[in-house]
Structure 1
């Protein structure tokens, strides 16, 4: 994340700039303080609104800005030490060196990244993340393993070749959009173009690779032609073209919810339409399917944009009705989800103890499940409802059974309206139950919908292969959501990943555009406490 720096200032330019090193240092120092303050403000928002604020990767970006702050402090100390005892000005050479050091600061680049994120992005997941293309092209997330307490941890990954990777400055739209920022100036870009052998012939078509009459408008020592031609091919390529190419390759090797990320490159110091040679470069960058924005199209209102617009928006694309898996039906009725102070008994399984501890830190329903469900219509398959009822009737406490009857609208609650169901449910919970929670959950027959979708060609051929690896209950839940294009919410990450892998392995046959079921995974679930164990009286 190194900024593009123009050549050092001459003595004349130093005098003409009419800005002393002390003034420049003071400005950069304050800008750094302001930027750190905004980052910390946003981190506080994450801490207060997200169940797991670490899902948004800010730490390295803040560390980089803080390192810049410390560098500026050290430089300021050196400048003060170099002042003449009699108060006279420094000699021009020393002053020029300090100005050049300040001018070479990384801070303007970090400010550009932050302002572009704040002014034009939503659903931020990372400020700085590396993506590779020398791996299997499916999940954005690293592979994970489930621990005994039901939570997930990352597996150790083998070392990867950084030469086959790209560093993305902003990962937004909950992972669906990548943004790269380059602060290269027009003068620096033209200098690099000349150095790399770019030439323009106004009488010929741009980027023609034909000899003779269609001679190329530019001469490039090396250029990407759709296939890797070895690592050395990068050495003679223009940096912006290499950046566009690498972004495309990494995006093609990555899928987020079955789709490749959208790509954007922002050039805040480049004006389009002024220099034909630069416009040619922009045109070639766009040929990789990348949106390229220059200074005239960048929002100038970043400072006025609200920081909360950057918060992740995991429920943004949910359907108006959601399909609930059995794992979360149990979480909705469990005492663990509703009783704030459950005494931990020696007879509790360690997974139960861990869930109690996690619940105290971040309660599942108020922070995640109720926001996910919102005011949407709620439904579940009859297989999921049946399995949930079997479990609750067998090992559930009396309060867990009462919640189940309310959630499903079973007798004696089958004649109650939504407001009455919520009032009764509120009496069984220590948390404030949302007044717009759409009880009762409607039970649906999955199989007719699945068969109809197959007959109408709404499911791809790989759906049959996916169905073969699913148990009866998972078949009803996940295939129903897929067949009806409804969002399925579940904590069963294993099944979700199994479906993804099956679909990705079939792409050579079924094509690149195939998408699986829309599934939202809750990273943690809740077991039932069990009869007479740690209940609130």
Structure 2
């Protein structure tokens, strides 16, 4: 969804706060309008170029670049550029004072120029620059710009764009979703003068009270009303209302079993005055980190390039990694290794879909090998046995060979890691990473699960999870949970079911977490035997 400028009208005031608003008094309104228009258009194009560069980096590095939602910011910057270019064209069309025109003509030109200067100074560009600058200099693992989150009955578990049936009044618009979804950042470019004016208008003022030790402390009062948390927001400061709404939406949303961290960045506000400090104290009382002043994001040299903004889905990975049967099959499938395989009526339609996806973005080099990296790899006996059964029944000769190499079975049981990689390379069109830790070691799961249960290393909710899993999924996912290992799988359905069960049986335990699981974006089946093919 796009960033809605109207969402920010109460908290973003760019008038008279742009560096270009204090141009020399010796310049005429026409000269000021031209300088301002030229500068804003240049800045807007520069911002657009940086956003484009980030999108290009996503295309270059990510299996599915669309998972990082940059489109909303880009579309708003593009719209802003068109608006600024139109204003610039109007500025250029103003006749410059030549000394030969009449006083009336010069006055009319100045009047038009003043109106255009006002429009230029009211541009939304400084806000978009602030959002991008804050993201670029203080965030990692971007997931989205401009996303609405909901709370309340009928709004689901929060998150995502507006859908039918959701109450927009019970929602908040978050400017930056960072740290792979674990941090929400709200940006306000309101000026201190405007904020103080709003506070005065709505009856908020600083007041000194004494605490039990007799020391004065500053609190913020609204003398026009009481302090109950009602739905009547007429006398509410916009920043405080936003803070409360952020807290409600975050409390209705979980990412990896936890509520998102909240951060408010207010670059045009400085701490130090009783009124401002009292307001910030209230905001921080909602569990929100508040960064004030230009230093909150405009620190030169804080980050090099844009690569730190890329998602970091592997940051919590363990070594060893627990590999599910689905990814063991993907690692041996001909579909994952041979570039020459084409779609065919002889293949099942699901196989043809996988072939099409594979040609667009190969699974192993773009997703699986980066995930596995240099980690030791293990799989439970049940997963290894299931893979072997499937490969034995429908696998091609090359898939059977890869299975033996992957698990270090005879005749490859005495091979070193380097030798196993060399053997794998002979069966693949892709360069096998030298750091790949072959073979995948088989482990026994039940004793580890039993020991973790007896030693209370697993929370009681594991019983409900276990009851809903098949035997193989029980072994795979509960072993990872019990052993404290990250499990990697492409079985998204089972993972969602586990997360749902944990949430359903949370019983007020805010610290309850389920197993750490990373879900591969797509699966790969064995190519299977063509119709009519004989064994």
Q: TM-score of the superposition, structure 1-length normalised?
A: 0.89
Partner of 2:187: 181
C-alpha spacing 1:219/1:429, structure 2 compared with 1 (3 Å): same
- Conserved 8 A contact 1:323-1:488: yes
2:129 is the counterpart of 1:111 = yes
Q: Which residue of 2 aligns with 1:293?
A: 291
Segments of structure 1 that go 5 or more residues without pairing to the other structure are: 143-153, 207-212
1:5 and 2:3 correspond: no
- The separation in 2 between residues aligned to 1:131 and 1:257, in whole angstroms, is 17
Give, in angstroms, the shift of residue 95 of structure 1. Answer: 2.7
The 3-state SS of whatever aligns with 1:292 is strand
Superposition deviation, residue 344 in structure 1: 3.1
User: Where in structure 2 are the equivalents of 1:183-332 lying within 5 Å?
Assistant: 183-204=189-210, 217-219=220-222, 221=224, 225=228, 229-230=230-231, 233-273=232-272, 275-295=273-293, 296-301=295-300, 305-332=304-331
| Deviation sequence 1:399-441 (CA, Å, 0-9, x none) | 0000000000000101111000000000000001000000000
Distance 1:217 1:374, change over 3 A: closer
1:7: Cα distance to partner? 6.2
CA distance in 1, matches of 2:227, 2:325: 50
Contact 1:6 1:188 in 2 (8 A): no
Note closer, same or farther for the CA distance 1:333–1:216 as it changes in structure 2 (3 Å cut): closer
Q: Name the residue aligned to 1:427.
A: 426
Cα drift, residue 201 of structure 1: 2.1
Q: Residues 141 and 218 (structure 1 numbering): CA distance in 2 closer, same or farther, change over 3 Å? A: closer
Consecutive unaligned residues in structure 2, runs of 5 or more? none
Residue of structure 1 in register with 2:55 after alignment: 43
User: Aligned equivalents of 1:126 and 1:75: distance in 2?
Assistant: 30
Aligned mates of 2:223, 2:174 — CA distance in 1: 26
SS in 1 for 2:208: coil
Quick one: structure 1 residues 83 and 199, their matched pair in 2 at CA, closer, same or farther if it must change by over 3 Å?
same
Q: Identify the range of structure 1 (366-375 vs 340-349) with the bigger mean alpha-carbon deviation.
A: 340-349
Q: CA deviation at 1:301?
A: 2.0
Q: Is the 8 A contact 1:325 1:488 kept in 2?
A: yes
* Count of matched residue positions in the alignment of Structure 1 and Structure 2: 509
Q: How much has 1:141 moved relative to structure 2? A: 6.6
Structure 2 partner of 1:480: 479
1:125-524 equivalences under 5 Å are 125-134=143-152, 157-204=163-210, 217-219=220-222, 221=224, 225=228, 229-230=230-231, 233-273=232-272, 275-295=273-293, 296-301=295-300, 305-508=304-507, 511-524=509-522
Shift of 1:135: 5.1
Is contact 2:140–2:308 with CA below 8 Å preserved after alignment?
Answer: yes
Give the 3 Å change call, closer, same or farther, for CA 50–44 of structure 1 in structure 2: same
Counterparts of 2:490 and 2:207, CA distance in 1 = 60
Give the Å deviation of 1:297: 3.9
Contact 1:379–1:443 at 8 Å: present in 2 too? yes
Q: What is the TM-score when the length of structure 2 is the normalising length? A: 0.90
Aligned-partner Cα distance in 1 for 2:443–2:156: 32
Q: Distance in 1 between matches of 2:61 and 2:306?
A: 13
Q: Are the equivalent residues in 2 in contact too, given 1:119–1:305 (CA < 8 A)?
A: no
How far did residue 161 of structure 1 move?
1.3
Distance 1:221 1:472, change over 3 A: farther
Give the Cα–Cα distance (whole angstroms) in 2 for the partners of residues 183 and 319 of structure 1. Answer: 41
Per the alignment, in what secondary structure is the counterpart of residue 358 of structure 2? helix
CA deviation after TM superposition for structure 1 residue 381, in Å = 0.5
- Report SS of the residue matched to 1:498: helix
| Alpha-carbon distance between aligned partners in 1 of 2:500 and 2:224, rounded to the nearest angstrom | 40
Q: Distance in 1 between matches of 2:76 and 2:319?
A: 41
- Determine the structure 1 residue equivalent to 2:43: 31
Counterpart-to-counterpart distance in 1, 2:315 and 2:62 = 15
Is the Cα–Cα contact under 8 Å of residues 224 and 245 in structure 1 kept in the other structure? no
Name the Cα RMSD after superposition.
Answer: 2.6
**Is the CA contact 1:205–1:217 (under 8 Å) kept in the aligned structure 2?**
no
Asked whether the equivalents of residues 267 and 293 of structure 1 are also in contact (C-alpha less than 8 Å), the reply is: yes
- CA displacement 1:110-161 (0-9 Å, x = unmatched): 000001100010100011111111257986776xxxxxxxxxxx9x953311
- In the aligned structure 1, how far is the partner of 2:219 from the partner of 2:300? 40
1-side partners of 2:130 and 2:219: how far apart? 35
Q: Distance in 2 between matches of 1:220 and 1:398?
A: 81
